[in-house]
């Protein structure tokens, strides 16, 4: 006993010394300057080098042995190394070989969750709930940072108007205003208010820029647009991320009008670092520097590296071009010490902000990791948030919500799935044994006396006759059929563009067979993009878009199908009738010959198709509820406002149905005449309003001339006097409510 007491005393005494001696670092600027003054040119260059571990594969294999280079002190950051133990080990190897003990920065794609997986980002956008999105990012940061991750490559803020592009699943859809709000909410969630806290991580606005405008929706493809469209549509969400304090950016693979973003000086130095005064760090995308050779923009790795660094890129992801060639370029006078110093400082300042110089292992704590991952509060939040993302697209004869007394036949390749349901870019999310499938969610909700049958019936692309007949037999005996169908999770995400975005032929044929039973059919659609479901819309009774709803997806779908959750999601992206309509988006221009539809007195010489309507299948902002909402008593605080004055726009919203529900009230404005043509309408505000049945509330929006700014004929971001039309309602087809004037 005596011996133990002595040991304890000795331990506490030595810990006390360590704590007392814990050096308080100098202020950031001074600390980083002192450190850089000790660094050699090579050591500064090596801070700009990032390699991938052998963990998750998120790009072409490069065969690099990053540990060798870490042992040579040549690596500043590593991506895809996760877990407290693994990151601690790699950090140890690094520190043992770093002359100045500079910690490594660990990055990972924590896009919509780390272990607890939330709905994919397109689904999160459908919630129109910024608090929910911030909370999802906050929880993702808490779990990731407990897993040794310092930096996430999120939020992805690429505006996307083309559902052939697989990465539409990762962003916030087609609207710049919604995308900007979500960018800010995500940055707040990931970074919190103090990066030195061990439950916050660096965020990364990506992919800068205009990556979602890839021609033909083909990933990595060329983009070319006017500066006005670039700034008006694609850059605003990035600026919003800067305004929210995002600490890093990632360049995009694509070129814009002939210049790859990886070495686009106008984008990186003129706009981001000068005009927007961005003080953080810019990393390339995966081998994006090397790929400028394929672009035909650089003749070799050295040329590519010096072009990128001089254009404002600070870190080379996986390409090894900075590591292998920048010293030579420096010796040859192709890159200056000032440029190297600026990039190095940006990297070191982030490591300081994270507290890594005080304790490089502070995020690699196995005990905290175990206590944090899959916390009940996180899993409950995943359900709550998923419930806000589901979008009810059709509900003929109120076939939904279902009730427990009905005999229900659940069918489809996704009915028992625990893999696809968490979507792509699901970090360390478990793809079996943790996520709740639809079957599991329904059985949990209905309990033992469930009168439900569950049959896959068909796979995505193959049908076993006996399996299909079994499913059809159960469907024929049911009161209602629920088909859980869609895409595999890897049919969207990176390198997953498709020319055909229909349901697979096998699934469609199965639906046609189910239709022959004469039973009401509900389609629960899981996909990472809008799909062309015109036949389904025509022939089925109800359609619930679930996106990929995440770890608690099955519970959310079950609770929604049976009415415990009244769907409130709204589309963040337009659903085309056919691929032939793409690109199609709500905030389009009027043209000189707008087609007014079947009643248009001029049916030929108009901007239309001869073989299709021009309207989408479902518009941006659209989503039904189990209840109904009525709008009334529209008011403007004034018929005109001056520049700098505020205008209040109010309207009453009533729940006229028989369920409590939530309506996303949306405000759109149209600038009737401008020095350049203006969109038919633009989202300028939205509010999720909770209304009990019979309840009425007044919703008030406040706008000013700042909200009316656009890039005018002189490319100045200014508002112009004139008349504006106001639309308020539950989707982007909201009716006009009147005009107001902006006067000098
Ligand atoms: C990928 C993606 C990018 C991701 C990066 C690291 O190629 O384009 O979004 O963050 O590589 O995994």
Query: For each successive 10 residues of the chain (744 residues), what is the average pLDDT?
Result: 53 45 83 98 98 81 82 96 97 97 98 98 98 98 98 98 98 98 98 97 98 98 98 98 99 98 98 98 98 98 98 97 98 98 98 98 97 98 98 98 97 98 97 96 90 96 97 98 98 98 98 98 98 98 98 98 98 98 98 97 97 98 98 98 98 98 98 98 98 98 98 98 98 98 96
Residue from 169, 250, 496 whose mutation best tests the ligand 1 pocket (most atoms within 8 A of CB): 250
Q: Are residues 414 and 518 in the same domain?
A: yes
Q: Are residues 518 and 655 in the same domain?
A: no
Q: Are residues 573 and 651 in the same domain?
A: no
Residue from 51, 52, 57, 58 whose mutation best tests the ligand 1 pocket (most atoms within 8 A of CB): 58
Q: Are residues 634 and 732 in the same domain?
A: yes
Would you say the CB of residue 175 lies under 6 angstroms from ligand 1?
A: no
> From the CA of 197, how far away is ligand 1's center (Å)?
26
Q: Are residues 495 and 637 in the same domain?
A: no
> From the CA of 250, how far away is ligand 1's center (Å)?
9
> From the CA of 79, how far away is ligand 1's center (Å)?
10
Which ligand 1 atom sits closest to the C-alpha of 250?
10
Indicate which residue's Cα is closest to atom 11 of ligand 1: 286
Residue from 53, 59, 165 whose mutation best tests the ligand 1 pocket (most atoms within 8 A of CB): 59
Q: Is residue 266 part of a domain?
A: no
Would you say the CB of residue 286 lies under 6 angstroms from ligand 1?
A: yes
Query: Within 13 Å, how many C-alpha atoms sit on residue 182's CB side?
Result: 29
> From the CA of 212, how far away is ligand 1's center (Å)?
14
Would you say the CB of residue 153 lies under 6 angstroms from ligand 1?
A: yes
> From the CA of 57, how far away is ligand 1's center (Å)?
10
Out of 547, 581, 615, pick the residue that ends a domain.
581
Q: Considering 175, 285, 314, 707, which one is annotated as catalytic?
A: 285
Would you say the CB of residue 285 lies under 6 angstroms from ligand 1?
A: yes
Would you say the CB of residue 79 lies under 6 angstroms from ligand 1?
A: yes
Relative orientation angle of helices 130-146 and 376-389, to the nearest 10 degrees = 150
Q: Are residues 511 and 416 in the same domain?
A: yes
Strand partners, 740: 724
> From the CA of 157, how far away is ligand 1's center (Å)?
13
Take residue 344 and report the two structure tokens written for it: 């190095």
pTM: 0.96
Q: Is residue 397 part of a domain?
A: yes
**Which residues span the domain enclosing 654?**
629-743
Would you say the CB of residue 59 lies under 6 angstroms from ligand 1?
A: yes
Which ligand 1 atom sits closest to the C-alpha of 156?
9
Q: Is residue 697 part of a domain?
A: yes
Q: Residue 125 and residue 388: Cα distance in Å, rounded?
A: 10
Would you say the CB of residue 494 lies under 6 angstroms from ligand 1?
A: yes
pLDDT at 152: 98
Which residues fall within 8 angstroms of residue 599, CB to CB, at 6 or more apart? Answer: none
Query: Within 13 Å, how many C-alpha atoms sit on residue 366's CB side?
Result: 4
Would you say the CB of residue 58 lies under 6 angstroms from ligand 1?
A: yes
Out of 581, 606, 640, pick the residue that ends a domain.
581
Are 712 and 675 in contact by the 8 Å Cβ rule? The answer is yes
Buried b (16+ CB within 10 A) or exposed e, 28-66: eeeebeebbeebeeebbbbbbbbbbbeeeebbeeeeeeb
Q: How many CB atoms lie within 10 A of CB 267?
A: 27
Indicate which residue's Cα is closest to atom 12 of ligand 1: 58
Q: Residue 168 and residue 717: Cα distance in Å, rounded?
A: 27
> From the CA of 59, how far away is ligand 1's center (Å)?
7
> From the CA of 712, how far away is ligand 1's center (Å)?
35
Q: Which residue has the tokens 């969400």?
A: 237
Which ligand 1 atom sits closest to the C-alpha of 207?
9
Q: Are residues 696 and 548 in the same domain?
A: no
Are 413 and 507 in contact by the 8 Å Cβ rule? The answer is yes
> From the CA of 200, how far away is ligand 1's center (Å)?
21
> Is the preceding omega at residue 69 within 30 degrees of 0, hence cis?
no
Residue 87's SS3 state is: helix
Q: How many residues are present in the chain?
A: 744
Q: Are residues 676 and 574 in the same domain?
A: no
**Cβ neighbourhood burial of 326 (10 Å; 0-12, 13-18, 19+):** buried
Q: Residue 555 and residue 383: Cα distance in Å, rounded?
A: 7
Residue from 60, 155, 494 whose mutation best tests the ligand 1 pocket (most atoms within 8 A of CB): 494
Buried b (16+ CB within 10 A) or exposed e, 85-100: ebbbebbeebbeebee
Q: How many CB atoms lie within 10 A of CB 597?
A: 12
Residue 152's SS3 state is: strand
Q: Are residues 431 and 523 in the same domain?
A: yes
Which ligand 1 atom sits closest to the C-alpha of 154?
10
Which ligand 1 atom sits closest to the C-alpha of 253?
8
Q: Are residues 570 and 450 in the same domain?
A: yes
Indicate which residue's Cα is closest to atom 8 of ligand 1: 285
Would you say the CB of residue 259 lies under 6 angstroms from ligand 1?
A: no
> From the CA of 58, how far away is ligand 1's center (Å)?
6
Q: Are residues 555 and 660 in the same domain?
A: no
Q: Is residue 107 part of a domain?
A: no
Residue 508 sits in a domain of what CATH number? 3.40.50.1700
Out of 551, 581, 611, pick the residue that ends a domain.
581
Phi, psi of 716 (to 5 degrees): -100, 135
Q: Is residue 560 part of a domain?
A: yes
Would you say the CB of residue 221 lies under 6 angstroms from ligand 1?
A: no
Would you say the CB of residue 206 lies under 6 angstroms from ligand 1?
A: yes
> From the CA of 46, how far away is ligand 1's center (Å)?
21
Would you say the CB of residue 170 lies under 6 angstroms from ligand 1?
A: no
Q: Are residues 432 and 504 in the same domain?
A: yes
> From the CA of 161, how far away is ligand 1's center (Å)?
20
Q: Is residue 125 part of a domain?
A: no
Residue from 153, 206, 283 whose mutation best tests the ligand 1 pocket (most atoms within 8 A of CB): 153
Write out the DSSP string of 93-132: HHHHT-TT-PPPEEEE--SSBSSSBPPPHHHHHHTT-HHH
pLDDT at 57: 75
Q: How many distinct structural domains can be found in the chain? A: 2
Q: Is residue 496 part of a domain?
A: yes
Which ligand 1 atom sits closest to the C-alpha of 206?
9
Q: Is residue 466 part of a domain?
A: yes
Which ligand 1 atom sits closest to the C-alpha of 80?
12
Phi, psi of 719 (to 5 degrees): -90, 155
Residue 285 annotated as catalytic: yes
Which ligand 1 atom sits closest to the C-alpha of 59?
7
Which residues fall within 8 angstroms of residue 534, CB to CB, at 6 or more apart? Answer: 577, 578, 617
Q: Which residue has the tokens 């990762």?
A: 170
Residue 670 sits in a domain of what CATH number? 2.60.40.10
């Amino acid at each position: 006993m005596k011996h133990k007491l002595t040991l304890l005393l000795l331990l506490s005494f030595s810990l006390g010394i360590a704590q007392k001696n814990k050096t308080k670092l100098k202020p950031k600027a001074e600390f980083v300057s002192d450190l850089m003054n000790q660094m050699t040119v090579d050591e500064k260059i090596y801070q700009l080098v990032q390699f991938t571990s052998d963990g998750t594969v998120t790009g072409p294999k490069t065969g690099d042995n990053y540990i060798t280079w870490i042992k040579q002190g040549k690596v500043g950051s590593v991506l895809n190394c996760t877990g407290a133990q693994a990151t601690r080990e790699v950090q140890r190897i690094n520190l043992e070989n770093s002359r100045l003990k500079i910690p490594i920065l660990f990055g990972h794609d924590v896009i919509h969750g780390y272990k607890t997986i939330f709905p994919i980002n397109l689904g999160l956008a459908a919630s129109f709930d910024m608090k929910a999105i911030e909370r999802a990012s906050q929880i993702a940061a808490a779990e990731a940072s407990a897993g040794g991750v310092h930096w996430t490559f999120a939020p992805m803020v690429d505006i996307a108007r083309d559902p052939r592009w697989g990465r539409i699943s990762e962003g916030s859809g087609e609207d710049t205003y919604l995308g900007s709000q979500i960018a800010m909410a995500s940055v707040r969630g990931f970074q919190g208010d103090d990066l030195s806290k061990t439950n916050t991580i660096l965020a990364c606005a990506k992919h800068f820029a205009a990556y979602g405008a890839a021609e033909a929706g083909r990933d990595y493809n060329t983009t070319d647009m006017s500066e006005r469209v670039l700034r008006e549509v694609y850059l605003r969400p990035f600026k919003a991320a800067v305004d929210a304090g995002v600490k890093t950016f990632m360049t995009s693979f694509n070129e814009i009008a002939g210049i790859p973003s990886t070495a686009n000086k106008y984008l990186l130095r003129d706009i981001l670092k000068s005009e927007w005064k961005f003080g953080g760090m810019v990393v390339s995308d995966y081998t994006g520097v090397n790929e400028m050779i394929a672009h035909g923009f650089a003749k070799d790795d050295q040329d590519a590296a010096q072009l990128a660094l001089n254009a404002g890129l600070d870190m080379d992801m996986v390409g090894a071009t900075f590591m292998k060639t920048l010293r030579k370029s420096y010796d040859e006078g192709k890159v200056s010490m000032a440029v190297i110093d600026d990039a190095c400082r940006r990297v070191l300042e982030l490591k300081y902000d994270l507290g890594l110089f005080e304790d490089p292992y502070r995020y690699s704590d196995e005990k905290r990791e175990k206590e944090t991952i899959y916390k009940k509060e996180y899993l409950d939040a995943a359900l709550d948030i998923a419930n806000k993302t589901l979008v009810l697209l059709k509900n003929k004869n109120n076939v939904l919500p279902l009730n427990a007394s009905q005999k229900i036949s659940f069918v489809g390749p996704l009915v028992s799935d625990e893999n696809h349901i968490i979507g792509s870019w699901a970090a360390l999310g478990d793809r079996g044994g943790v996520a709740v499938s639809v079957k599991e969610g329904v059985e949990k909700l209905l309990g033992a006396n469930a009168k439900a049958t569950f049959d896959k019936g068909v796979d995505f692309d193959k049908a076993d006759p006996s399996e299909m007949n079994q499913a059809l037999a159960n469907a024929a005996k049911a009161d209602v059929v629920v088909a859980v169908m869609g895409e595999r999770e890897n049919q969207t995400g990176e390198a997953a563009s498709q020319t055909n975005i229909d349901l697979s032929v096998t699934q469609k044929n199965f639906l046609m067979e189910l239709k022959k039973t004469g039973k009401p059919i509900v389609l629960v659609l899981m996909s990472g993009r809008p799909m062309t479901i015109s036949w389904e819309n025509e022939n089925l009774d109800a359609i619930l878009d679930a996106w990929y709803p995440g770890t608690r997806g099955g519970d959310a779908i079950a609770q929604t199908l049976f009415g415990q959750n009244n769907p409130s999601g709204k589309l963040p992206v337009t659903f085309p009738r056919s691929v032939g309509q793409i690109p199609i988006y709500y905030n389009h221009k009027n043209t000189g010959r707008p087609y007014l539809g079947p009643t248009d007195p001029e049916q030929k010489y108009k901007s239309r198709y001869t073989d299709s309507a021009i309207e989408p299948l479902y518009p941006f902002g659209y989503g039904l509820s189990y209840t109904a909402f009525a709008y009334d008593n529209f008011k403007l605080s004034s018929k005109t406002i001056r520049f700098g004055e505020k205008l209040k726009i109010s309207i009453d919203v009533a729940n006229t149905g028989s369920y409590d529900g939530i309506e996303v009230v949306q405000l759109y404005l149209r600038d009737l005449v401008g020095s350049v043509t203006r969109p038919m309408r633009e989202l300028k505000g939205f509010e999720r309003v909770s209304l009990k049945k019979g309840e009425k509330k007044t919703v008030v929006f406040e706008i000013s001339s700042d909200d009316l700014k656009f890039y005018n004929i002189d490319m100045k971001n200014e508002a112009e006097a004139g008349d504006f039309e106001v639309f308020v309602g539950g989707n982007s087809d909201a009716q006009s409510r009147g005009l107001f004037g902006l006067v000098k």
